[in-house]
Structure 1
């Protein structure tokens, strides 16, 4: 071998080049002939029809007695084990280390001490409703269950709110919270 860095492959490893390199057919080209071409046009879209303005219907003003017929939401009180007590007046996110993320970013995070760790980090959204406390399971590990006088335990579907009436309770994992209306002094 003349060059020490060159390796010669063994015979028959690389096939020989074909001997005939001519094309099998001949193609005849006709000069000066072109196909027509067209520029595509933009589609013609009709402008949207103008919508008539929506005007409020005139009607009688609501009477003060009708406005007072619907009870105001809350305030509600949640009570639980080891002296746990929480007043629910707005939107709250409950959990071991809750994070109020969208779409509940306006809610206040309330940490719950749970030595058994059955409560998830961000477990449930709780908000005041006119007829009780609305609870939504935020896809927690151990779920939310509702206990009423009529139903022993009802599992709540994640993301679906349910109202817990006064006198009933709900469970975040193994932690049970009772719902009662908070009566405040008006004087």
Structure 2
């Protein structure tokens, strides 16, 4: 019997195919949105125009991005970072493991991905509605980091030590994003993150 075609695939293969298709659609919507924002401005670009450019319906757009601001705040890096953090050797201290995970994820990203991320960060800082949603995004990332840190240490993710660790990391990353935008991406993001987490590990010698 011949192997089933992708259209008739079932089980993990079909699930993987669906996820890849979703990722391509999500990326296409986001890419078209960033292009339109550059051409017409954020406020002048409607969801309908983005959906038309990406050749999807507005209802499909909203399945991937509940609001227009989510185009700037949502990406695939949080789960990738969590996976890379989890994969680091168990003997590494949390900050050292996280530094290695950040570098692995940022260096794996292509130039186009990093340029897209830089554009989104720049817009997120400039668009009031996106800035207002940033706290929600940071809290979500804090939960992700706390969960993996607790898993590695065999600790409670709600414990003060774990939550302070995750919150401290996010506090260190905020000025990294500001600096990355200010230097227009000329300094690699991996280097900026590495410097910030090194300072954090050294007790912020100022």
Give the TM bin, normalised by the shorter chain.
under 0.3
Q: Calculate the TM-score normalised by the size of structure 1.
A: 0.22
Higher strand share: 1
Larger radius of gyration: 1
**Bigger helix fraction:** 2
